[in-house]
Amino acid sequence: MWEHNLAIQQPFGVSVFGSALIKASPDLFSIVATVSRLEQKPSDAFANARKGAQSVAEFLRKSRVPEIGSSRISLSQEFRYVGGETKFVGYRAKIAFNIILRELDRVEELLTGLVDAGANELNSTSFQTNRLKELRAEVRRMAVAAAREKALIYCEAAGVELGPVLHIEDVNPNVLQGRGEGHVRREPVVDNDLDKQPLDPGSIDIGAAVLIGFKIQGKQ
């Protein structure tokens, strides 16, 4: 026999989940590009990495990319598993560049130019926005409004009056990310209408979710 476990242990009012998702247009592009060279000697690895880094730096200078962070330099031993055993293959030197591009129409030009100049690893590429704090505040207000609207509907249907807020709990917005079976990804389930938001292939998802408990005043 099927049994459910949805019984309310401590009834106090009405508890609802509210969520919202904004698809924001990016205004900058961030990339970490690395020059990586593998050689048998540490000195050779560093020398070749520096040569490649100079070429990358010259490309960025000619391309007039003004926002370049301090490059990171690292050296490590590299091993590979070959024929049932681990073998030392050399020393790998890496020099990384942190780059911010605000002219989004130049993203393809920048990526292609970096690779041609000698950057053989693009470790991190992402569209971002300077309005993140502002947009997070907006989407949180939308999530609260969605929760209140849902609570009002429930109370109206039950013939009771919605009372003041008793509890507010922030919920990790990652619950809004679509999940499916295996590698299948489903659309996120949120309370606001995503269809009315502008379609942008590079858009940034900014979500918020909240659990709110309201007091019930009495019958309508």
**Per-residue model confidence as pLDDT tens digits over 157-179:** 999 999 999 999 999 877 665 54
**Mean pLDDT in residue range 118-140:** 93
The pTM is what? 0.68
pLDDT at 182 > cutoff 50: no
**Mean pLDDT in residue range 16-21:** 92
Q: How many CB atoms lie within 10 A of CB 18?
A: 24
Model confidence band, residue 194 (pLDDT cutoffs 50, 70, 90): low
Model confidence band, residue 193 (pLDDT cutoffs 50, 70, 90): low
- pLDDT score recorded for residue 97: 95
**Rounded to 5°, angle at Cα 201 from 199 and 203:** 75
Higher pLDDT, 182 or 23: 23
- Cα–Cα dist 129/180, whole Å: 28
- pLDDT score recorded for residue 156: 94
- pLDDT score recorded for residue 142: 95
Domains, the chain:
13-25+131-219 (3.30.110.170), 29-128 (3.30.70.2970)
- pLDDT score recorded for residue 114: 96
- pLDDT score recorded for residue 82: 83
Percentage of the chain modeled with pLDDT above 90: 70
Instruction: Tell me what the pLDDT averaged over the chain comes to.
Output: 86
Model confidence band, residue 183 (pLDDT cutoffs 50, 70, 90): very low
Q: Which of 22, 26, 23, 52 is nearest to 121 (CA)?
A: 52
Indicate the Cα dihedral angle 163, 165, 169, 171, nearest 10°. Answer: 60
Percentage of the chain modeled with pLDDT above 70: 84
pLDDT at 219 > cutoff 80: no
What residues form DSSP beta bridges with 20? 208
